Amino acid sequence: MINVQFAALPERWDTYAVPLRTAFDQAGIDVDLRIDHVPETVDYVIYAPNGPLSDFTPYTRCKAVLSLWAGVEKIVGNASLTMPLCRMVDPGLTAGMVEWVTGHVLRYHLDIDHSILNQDRWEPWAQPLAMERPVSILGLGALGAACARALSQLGFPVTGWSRSPKVIDGVICRHGEEGLQQALTDAEIVVLLLPDTQATENTLNAQSLARLAKGARVINPGRGPLIDDDALLDALNSGHIAHATLDVFRIEPLPLDHPYWAHPNVTVTPHIAAETHAITSAQVVAENIRRGESAEPYLHLVDRTLGY
């Protein structure tokens, strides 16, 4: 019997218990899943950073911590977490992110806001084709790569940027500092899907925003600290950036007095771009436990030196 501790907010237990047990049965592994195992008897921890568990020291038998979140910035520096840590790459979350990003790129490309806000006038305008609208995706992990492929298939010329070299069919892939400048230069829509690390903080700042095409749009469903907020507000006020759609922020919920709320060229969404889905994420957790019991490499193992 494999002892698995579920360590997330209590209300998440009702959401995950049945999908997890179903996934364990389908994977052919015999699991005792509980929220109240004695720590020293636990083999695996299913974990959410906003849950009750912060000290992993008593979990002396634990083979791996399996996070339900895609981001690990809130846990990767925990000194008591000495066992392997796996982040969540959930097919359902990925599909949701592709839908959200694609929807907002198309919203900008088709200038849907203009039509909605001008229902009292007849003002035709020339609509460019997708092939004439360069899009850059900053971050080519599982989410960024999936979004880049989807936009490329719609006909957009897509440039992607990542820390290390990547190859994605139909996407121009850049890497390194010079590659970042190339990815930003003259892009009309930029999408941020980088992890939150010291190296990625303020990736969009005054200098990088200036490289975008005049009238460019910014979409951030990644992490709040990727953007220098003051620099973005300055670029919006000057007109260099036409609009920004922001789903994530340095402080959440976004404070009511934050300038983004009242800015006419900012759309705020409440961290809804994508979320982990119980049915599909349970299958990822079950597969990782099966791998752990079979001495196979874990899926989505976090590199503590990189922070993701």
- Catalytic (active-site) positions: 223, 271
Separation in Å, CA 91 to CA 48, 88, 142, 274, 279: 18, 9, 9, 11, 10
Q: Write the DSSP string, 102-158.
A: HHHHHHHHTTHHHHHHTTT---------GGGS-EEEE--SHHHHHHHHHHHHTT--E
228-247: buried (b, 16+ CB within 10 Å) or exposed (e) per residue? bbebbbebbeeeebbbbbbb
At 130, the amino acid letter reads: A
The CA distance from 212 to 208, in Å, is 7
Q: How far is CA 148 from the centre of its chain?
A: 13
Separation in Å, CA 185 to CA 129, 149, 182, 211, 249: 20, 20, 5, 5, 25
19: preceding bond cis by omega (within 30 degrees) = no
- Cβ atoms of residues 104 and 135 within 8 Å: no
The CA distance from 288 to 300, in Å, is 9
- Cβ atoms of residues 44 and 66 within 8 Å: yes
